[in-house]
Structure 1
Amino acid sequence: MILKMESLLLLCGLFSITVCEDIMNEAIGRFGETEEVSSTLSMLSNKNLLDVWWNQVNNPKPGLLVIDLQNDFINGSLAVPEAEDILELCQEIIDSKMFTKTIFSKDWHPSDHISFFSNLGERELDPAWREKHPGEIKMFDEVVFARDPPYTQVLWPDHCLQDTEGSEIHSSINYPFLAFEILKGTDSDIDSYSAFFDNGGNGDTGLQSIIKDFVTEVVVIGLATDYCVGSTTLDAQKIGIPATILTDASRGVAAETTESMLARVKAAGGQVSTWPDWRDSLETWSRAKHLADTLLATHQHNHSTHIYTSTIILLVSYIIVAFIR
């Protein structure tokens, strides 16, 4: 017996429905039949994301982003308060073997970098901004340079100059086997807090291509929470990678800006946790919901996944057809 195309499509649809029902039943069996669980599953199903999410839940591939554990940020020209206190824990996390990929970022500035207070006189300030701020400009002030559009920049001490001791990762930190390293802030005319992109949202560092299709989430540790760690976490969420900052393995420049950044991360869908809590959360609904919420928020469902799923469905259907024949 040869089935008509209409029958084949019906079989494909029925198979897909059965798969979704099976996933929902398994998920409810694991996480409970609460209103939140049921609502989340329904939204995932409506967006054709249920199978992707369930695969992430059952096959976790977390990545670790170790941000700027460099000498200048620890005991050098731009030392972050209590930075040395996190080094032992950071190494423990790096050595935990819980991560599919481990990537280190480094600030890697040329000597004429726009973020250096010492280079303030090398570029024109925005006239409208300067008219409103006629006073003396000091270290750590935020200024606006003349550009289209105008460019805002905090002025820092010279730090992490390329090929200097200050730019090197602290000697107490050991790289694991097959670790990656990305350099940021290499363009003289724009800063790069995030390990993904420069502060203009462009200037791709290459980190996205290293991890986007190879991890199900990222954990972010290092320096400094209120700038590079937080900005990296925000960009991860923005491109559809669930991200968690570990507060016990990161430190901020100032308490006020750190709290502000952590609030921004939470508002963007990221999570704020600690190493023990994150480690114990891998089988919980909170983690599964973080994966689901990020998928739903970005809705960047990879087309290749659809193709893969459709191919599997068609393959099964053809097997059914062959069996009936």
Structure 2
Amino acid sequence: MKGQFVHVWSLLAVAGLYNLICCLPFRLATLLPDYLLPSKTEKIALIVVDVQNDFLPPSGALPVPEGREIVQVVERLVERCKWDVVVATQDWHPPNHASFASRWGVEPMSVVQYEYMGRRIDQIAWPDHCMKQTKPTMCLIGEAETPGAALAFRSAAGKIDHYVRKGMIPDLDAYSGFAYRDYIAYTDLARKLWDKHISHAYVVGLAADVCVVATAIDSIAFGFQTTVITNATRAIKGKEGMEDMRRRIETFGGRVVSLEDEQFRRFCPRY
């Protein structure tokens, strides 16, 4: 079992390197003249990544250790800071999704291989989680038929400006809020932030060493100054996962800070 976990996390590290190579065209876009780029006006967004019931202990299908501790922190961030845009991403999988261990008949955390659009996909088989509604309902936006897919920070849900539902393609996973794996497909997040002339994005949520780091790296790649707040994220691999997240984001030019960071405190003195 130990060797299996080593292989899984090695695969995530390789995926990070792949992201660096694939994102170079987007990073080069920052060299374009200002008149070809979105406005440089200082506007700030909060991206809340996958703070959903299935990722919270003790009862979530794929619990992130200590994940429940960040819910109130996220709620206060949403409510007390003057964000220009607040975005919430949600894992939103159809039944029998390619990321589900049950689809392949394997143990969770195994690695499976399959072909998609002529490419070989190496996929971590996670416990089944965050299944979207499968029939029409009267649910409010942000809610889901399956309780596990619902957002956990209900009190602040009214302040969400835009939802990004990812992982909806049955045969393709999406860790990042900006794009599906291998950049085969994209969400509308980058365009929404550009349309609002966002210059800086703060990223929080779950899990630090999977979807948060993927979202933050893509945020940098799409030209946004990017900061992750450590108090508002937790990692599947605990302290080791947090350090891995920090290393990868700082390598790409992002910042990883606490709520005591001077720049953040100037922006949000009410927190």
DSSP 3-state at the match of 2:202 = strand
Tell me if 1:149 matches 2:149: no
User: Which segments of 5 or more consecutive residues in structure 2 lack a partner in the other structure?
Assistant: 1-30, 134-145
State the secondary structure of the residue aligned to 2:75: helix
Contact 2:71–2:153 (CA under 8 A) maintained in structure 1: no
Q: Deviations over 1:88-112 (max 9, x none)?
A: 1111100123210001010000011
Shift of 1:150: 1.0
Q: TM-score, normalised by structure 1?
A: 0.62
Amino acid in the other structure paired with 1:145: Y
More strand per residue: 2
Match of 1:195 among 174, 177, 185: 177
CA distance in 1, matches of 2:115, 2:246: 30
Give SS of 1:95's match: helix
Task: Measure how far apart 1:159 and its partner are.
Answer: 0.2
1:215 and 2:185 aligned: no
Q: Residue type matched to 1:199 in 2?
A: R
The CA deviation at 1:117 is: 0.4
Contact 1:212 1:241 in 2 (8 A): no
Matched, 1:180 2:180: no
Gaps of 5+ in 1: 1-45, 122-136, 283-325
TM-score, scaled relative to structure 2: 0.74
1:253 maps to amino acid: I
User: Following the alignment from structure 2 to structure 1, what is the Cα–Cα distance between the partners of residues 175 and 86?
Assistant: 19
What is the RMSD of the two structures over their aligned residues, measured on CA atoms? 2.3
Q: In 2, distance between residues paired with 1:111 and 1:47? A: 43
Amino acid at match of 2:165: L
* 2:68 equivalent among 80, 84, 87: 84
Equivalent-residue separation in structure 2 for 1:176 and 1:188 (angstroms): 29
Matched, 1:273 2:243: no
Larger Rg: 1
Map of 1:230 onto structure 2: 213
Structure-2 residue corresponding to 1:130: none
Q: Higher relative contact order at CA 8 Å, sep ≥6: structure 1 or structure 2?
A: 2
CA deviation after TM superposition for structure 1 residue 116, in Å:
0.4
Between Structure 1 and Structure 2, the one with more helix by share is: 1
- Alignment check: 8 A CA contact 1:104 1:182 kept: yes
In the alignment, which of 210, 215, 223 is matched to residue 240 of structure 1?
223
SS in 2 for 1:77: coil
- Give the Cα–Cα distance (whole angstroms) in 1 for the partners of residues 219 and 99 of structure 2: 23
Partner of 1:37: none
Distance 1:114 1:85, change over 3 A: same
Give the number of aligned pairs. Answer: 218
